[in-house]
Structure 1
């Protein structure tokens, strides 16, 4: 961001950004509740067409001791409000692009769900608008704020696993979805950070492929009714990406199971669903896997929760200037699902991944 508008300077004077929330369904209310508790944010407007969802949102305002916000049933009316610095978009995925594009054009910073658009052209347009307007576009990706992933990222940065060679990213084993929701299941922002993409690395090619892989499924005990995870092996579909740094990244492409997280470095490995870590430089015998818990504990930092953490990062990217815009990370992550669908349609064809930093 090359400049800070007068509206943002005014908001910064009392350390609160003025926010409008568009969409207050179940997911939107989670972010609304966290935003109402964030002392750096002032939630002053809400857009919602459902009267039921609107009433539920207003109850959150009452519970937080907030005054009643300005209410809209058309997002364009909310975006025309000059008193707002930014918007949180929590609508169905197919509505993200038109609302985000209009918000950027109206001079608002944007925080949105993982899906940026439905076509590559829509992704290009959002990147262009963010660069042209100087307004930030940030992905609200709570999957990227799991404590174990953040701790492992710190371990990799510290060189504990050596040079990162490969990454396998799936859904969290404790919340395996039964069916596809349309949203990426992987923590895109965390992957982007782990792979050093803000420092020049990037995805170069992608394809969808099937292979025999290990995965985890939820199993319900018929006697106790309790659910536990079972490790199995079979043919599953994954999205295989390659990076400019020579790393291979596999991303879960199906619901109903978890491929878990597996990191392979030149000096060690980690598997999340077994809780195992292997470090070549420790005192253990060669090829000895051990519990990852003590190592992760050293790097675990207490956070206010995934959603609150994501919102705090949104505030940070607005207030801190950077030459690497968060819209690049957002577009990179969102394009994976889009390109994977095209690769699958073409029978697993290898596709080039556009370099979003040079989209003009």
Structure 2
């Protein structure tokens, strides 16, 4: 885990598994990649597992400033009987927050995956692209709006490939629905919904013990561990749609954002903030603890609406501080029907009984994406129900083929820029704002992706 405390000086400009070999696609270009990984925390280890299970990837470099996490990553490499990579970030002198730059200088590096705290993504990606090292970046491309422009301009200037590793775009039902959208089953799309609705209270607080990262206490920041060390601070000081890409990614693909359509306006509303304080003080029985007296800024439920050039609206909800089952709350609605993931249901006019839902499974089976049909067995056991296999697979295959990234730089910055724009909207009295056109007009001529890509 790259410790947030050690990285605050960075400039904004700048689960083990058996060794299973996955099939590769016979394509022009490189047949094998030498990749590095920056950030070997909980998320980094999930991605590392997918890299180690492939026979077309050699992990040649790991970087982290936490000895425990770097040690766990090396143990994973040993478990898979792979050659040990060069390591960066941990030395007798302590953690070096700029060691990732040394990793980027390693000869023969074909790409790097960034899996560090959010506030480090932009500067690390910029440094990688300037070093001509292709980037697969975990979600959240930047924190400020300027971060997103800086990442975009660096990619445009350098020409270095950049992919946002948004795994929900590869969820099996989501990909089937995208196939259905392309086939016209919903008619003309009118309204879509998604979000990040996930009780993270036990993630945002723990007792600082690396063996107990979830729900073990009420500490965060320097006294916490894993995500509690860095993520909770965002809930303390920021109020907005902090994690938009899981929800917006599939919706944006469905309505062809940056490929004949674009976001034009955005506004956000935030509820009062009660959940985190209540969790520490009442649910965890720590009323006298200093963290029970903090005023967390993040509204418990943040609702964001986007308008699109072609007339669709998209609603997102961020809901991570209250008790609730996990759900991304997807809804795709058009002139001929509607799909909702919460009740796993669909209604298609002329096929479904009037005013009644049908179970979605039969439709999912019929419109199952070719990638899932081909690689379902390979994805079994991968993180997030197999999605992590597919997002890593997409990055690797596009890089091998020297092909465009399926979730490219324009997608990355627009989806992620929803966060600072939502913060601005809320701060200015829930004001509706114009959404920047990061493509600067290219959206008019870029072609739609057919259900991401049948190849990868």
Determine whether 1:247 maps to 2:295.
Answer: no
CA contact under 8 A between 1:167 and 1:263: conserved in structure 2? Answer: yes
Q: CA deviation at 1:67?
A: 0.8
Give me the whole-angstrom Cα distance separating, in 1, the residues matched to 2:194 and 2:29: 41
Determine whether 1:89 maps to 2:104.
Answer: no
Per the alignment, residue 39 of structure 1 pairs with: 55
RMSD, aligned CA: 2.4
Per the alignment, residue 413 of structure 2 pairs with: 331
CA contact under 8 A between 1:237 and 1:254: conserved in structure 2? Answer: yes
Higher normalized strand content (fraction of residues): 1
Q: CA deviation at 1:203?
A: 0.8
Go from structure 1 to structure 2 and tell me whether the alpha carbon gap of 1:184 and 1:210 turns closer, same or farther (over 3 Å shift): closer
Determine whether 1:103 maps to 2:128.
Answer: yes
- Give the gaps of 5 or more residues in structure 2: 1-27, 90-98, 205-230, 235-241, 272-299, 380-385, 443-456
Q: CA deviation at 1:358?
A: 2.0
Give me the whole-angstrom Cα distance separating, in 1, the residues matched to 2:167 and 2:34: 22
Give me the whole-angstrom Cα distance separating, in 2, the residues matched to 1:348 and 1:79: 42
CA contact under 8 A between 2:186 and 2:333: conserved in structure 1? Answer: yes
| Residues 247-293 of structure 1, C-alpha deviations (whole Å, 9 max, x = no match) | 000011232344611111110011111122111131x4432322122
CA contact under 8 A between 1:144 and 1:188: conserved in structure 2? Answer: no
Question: Where do residues 339-354 of structure 1 align in structure 2 (5 Å cutoff)?
Answer: 339-354=421-436
CA contact under 8 A between 1:155 and 1:299: conserved in structure 2? Answer: yes
Go from structure 1 to structure 2 and tell me whether the alpha carbon gap of 1:210 and 1:76 turns closer, same or farther (over 3 Å shift): closer
CA contact under 8 A between 2:61 and 2:103: conserved in structure 1? Answer: yes
Give me the whole-angstrom Cα distance separating, in 2, the residues matched to 1:69 and 1:324: 28
Q: Secondary structure at the match of 1:197?
A: coil
Q: CA deviation at 1:145?
A: 2.0
Per the alignment, residue 227 of structure 1 pairs with: none
Of 140, 164, 173, which aligns to 1:148?
173
Per the alignment, residue 214 of structure 1 pairs with: none
| Residues 172-229 of structure 1, C-alpha deviations (whole Å, 9 max, x = no match) | 7xx5434775651534432222121242211111001369xxxxxxxxxxxxxxxxxx
| Residues 20-65 of structure 1, C-alpha deviations (whole Å, 9 max, x = no match) | 1001001100001111112232210011111111110001111111
**Aligned positions, number:** 323
CA contact under 8 A between 2:33 and 2:110: conserved in structure 1? Answer: yes
Question: Where do residues 1-360 of structure 1 align in structure 2 (5 Å cutoff)?
Answer: 15-73=31-89, 74-171=99-196, 176-178=199-201, 181=231, 184=243, 186-209=246-269, 236-255=301-320, 256=322, 257=324, 258=327, 260-282=329-351, 284-300=352-368, 301-302=372-373, 303=376, 304=379, 305-318=386-399, 319-322=401-404, 326-358=408-440
Q: Secondary structure at the match of 1:167?
A: strand
Q: Which runs of 4+ in 1 moved over 3 A?
A: 175-183, 256-259, 320-325
Give me the whole-angstrom Cα distance separating, in 2, the residues matched to 1:339 and 1:322: 27
Go from structure 1 to structure 2 and tell me whether the alpha carbon gap of 1:16 and 1:188 turns closer, same or farther (over 3 Å shift): farther
Q: CA deviation at 1:332?
A: 1.1
Give me the whole-angstrom Cα distance separating, in 2, the residues matched to 1:151 and 1:75: 38
CA contact under 8 A between 1:163 and 1:267: conserved in structure 2? Answer: yes
Q: Secondary structure at the match of 2:319?
A: coil
> TM-score under structure 2 normalisation?
0.66
| Residues 126-160 of structure 1, C-alpha deviations (whole Å, 9 max, x = no match) | 11111221111111112222211111111111111
CA contact under 8 A between 1:114 and 1:333: conserved in structure 2? Answer: no
> TM-score under structure 1 normalisation?
0.83
Give me the whole-angstrom Cα distance separating, in 1, the residues matched to 2:106 and 2:85: 12
Q: Secondary structure at the match of 2:439?
A: helix
